[in-house]
């Protein structure tokens, strides 16, 4: 049966920190770090049974602490993605946030959830193993209102499903958008570009952006654009398309709108990423309304990954299940407001298989 183990990963301010490994009988292994609630590695077999780590990341805990600007594998929050002008208004009050990406607040600010140490406890069940990570984000942290208790649970089962369950409560009205910021390369981390991966998304619309990469508010059809992954398409060809939106973002870095009925928050299949060479396939299920598709456009060779090789543009593909960017300033978008007494929940499944 699936099992969870723990091992000393390093020290933070003189205190020991354990990392956790989830493993099943099919050879799948997932390493979790409490720093940033981070997925450090996912070791998965190819069609011939050969194991490789298929997520980008660093070799050890301290590398994440010192230089995880690409947000490798972390939980981004309190608000994943971008908030225009580093500000939003809620219940008549305007809140100012740190601007850590030009005029924007990105992934929760200067010290978002990715740069915090979470408490962690192992979990076991009949056919699965996991780790629950929790932290309290105090009122005013990075400018966000409310004392927020956040919980992220990673679970691996014998069906090769890596499940992420998010839960949060607040004592004041606030905004919240949580996602995992993993970069996938199904050929193996450090093996080179993921341009040859095929991506299929159940998304017939996307949110175009302005020059700041802030959504314009339009839900535009993907038909006739590089963002049309309604049938499986090679990612690299789309990320190098001569489309104004692609040029603006230096590649693909856009939120797609998952096809679902208004108000539906059920767990549905949102897309499939596959690597024809290795045969590895990643199927994504989520309760969220969107996915930020990002091709690692700002990886420039200055960062060396766990395998000892430099990461460059296109070496990984992030599929960030989420609410839409800048939703606190876009009343037509699905709401990201969390009220006292309500419980925020969200689930994403990453299902690994071979073909």
- Which residue ranges make up each domain of the chain? 3-354
Give yes or no for residue 1 having a pLDDT over 90: no
Instruction: Provide the CATH topology of domain 3-354.
Output: Beta-galactosidase; Chain A, domain 5 (2.70.98)
Say whether pLDDT at 200 is over 80.
yes
The answer to whether 163 touches 154, Cβ cutoff 8 Å, is yes
Query: Which of 141-155 are b and which e, b meaning 16 or more Cβ less than 10 Å from the residue's Cβ?
Result: bbbbbbbbebbbbbb
Residue 75's pLDDT band (cuts 50, 70, 90): very high
d(CA 120, CA 122) in angstroms, rounded, equals 7
Provide, rounded to the nearest whole percent, the portion of the chain with pLDDT above 90: 97
Pairing between β-strand 51-53 and β-strand 174-175 as defined by DSSP bridges: unpaired
In the annotation, is 181 catalytic?
yes
263 confidence band (pLDDT: 50, 70, 90): confident
Q: What is the pLDDT at residue 67?
A: 84
In this structure, are residues 333 and 327 in contact, taking their beta carbons and an 8 Å threshold? yes
Q: What is the reported pLDDT for 272? A: 98
282-323: per-residue pLDDT in tens? Answer: 999 999 999 999 999 999 999 999 999 999 999 999 999 999
Does this model's pTM top 0.75? yes
Catalytic residue among 31, 141, 142, 320: 320
pLDDT tens column, 213-246: 999 999 999 999 999 999 999 999 999 999 999 9
- Among 107, 181, 197, 254, the one annotated catalytic: 181
Active site residue 323: no
Q: Residue 134: is its pLDDT beyond 80?
A: yes
Could you tell me which residue, 1 or 181, shows the higher pLDDT?
181
Average per-residue pLDDT in the chain?
A: 97
* Radius of gyration from C-alpha coordinates of the chain: 19
pLDDT surpassing 80 at residue 68: no
What share of the chain has pLDDT > 70, as a percent? 100
Q: What's the average model confidence in pLDDT over 70-98?
A: 98
Q: What gap in Å lies between CA 201 and CA 233, rounded to an integer?
A: 10
Average pLDDT for residues 90-109, to the nearest whole number?
97
């Amino acid at each position: 049966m699936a099992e969870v183990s723990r091992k000393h990963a390093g020290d933070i301010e003189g205190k020991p920190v354990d990392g956790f490994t989830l493993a099943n009988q099919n050879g799948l292994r997932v390493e979790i770090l409490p720093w940033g609630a981070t997925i450090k590695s996912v070791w998965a077999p190819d069609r011939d049974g050969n194991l490789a780590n298929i997520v980008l990341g660093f070799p050890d805990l301290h590398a994440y602490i010192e230089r995880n600007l690409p947000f490798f594998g972390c939980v981004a929050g309190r608000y994943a993605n971008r908030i225009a002008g580093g500000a939003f208004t809620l219940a008549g009050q305007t809140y100012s946030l740190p601007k850590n990406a030009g005029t924007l607040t990105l992934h929760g600010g200067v010290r978002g959830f990715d740069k915090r140490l979470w408490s962690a406890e192992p979990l076991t069940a009949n056919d699965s193993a996991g780790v629950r990570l929790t932290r309290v984000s105090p009122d005013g942290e990075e400018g966000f209102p409310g004392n927020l208790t956040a919980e992220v649970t990673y679970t691996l089962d014998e069906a090769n499903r890596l499940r992420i369950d998010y839960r949060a409560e607040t004592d004041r009205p606030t905004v919240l958008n949580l996602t995992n910021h993993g970069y996938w390369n199904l050929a193996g981390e450090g093996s080179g570009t993921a341009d040859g991966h095929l991506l299929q998304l159940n998304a017939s619309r996307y949110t175009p952006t302005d020059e700041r990469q802030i959504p314009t508010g339009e839900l535009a059809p993907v038909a006739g654009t590089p963002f049309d992954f309604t049938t499986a398409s090679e990612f690299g060809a789309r990320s190098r398309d001569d489309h104004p939106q692609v040029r603006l973002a230096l590649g693909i870095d856009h939120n797609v709108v998952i096809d679902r009925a208004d108000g539906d928050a059920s767990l549905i299949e949102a897309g499939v990423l596959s690597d024809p060479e290795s045969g590895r396939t990643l199927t994504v299920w989520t309760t969220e309304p969107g996915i930020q598709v990002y091709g690692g456009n700002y990886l420039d060779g200055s960062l060396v990954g766990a395998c000892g090789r430099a990461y460059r543009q296109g070496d990984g593909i992030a599929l960030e299940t989420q609410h839409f960017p800048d939703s606190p300033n876009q009343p037509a978008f699905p709401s990201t407001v969390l009220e006292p007494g309500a419980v925020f929940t969200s689930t994403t499944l990453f299902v690994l298989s071979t073909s």
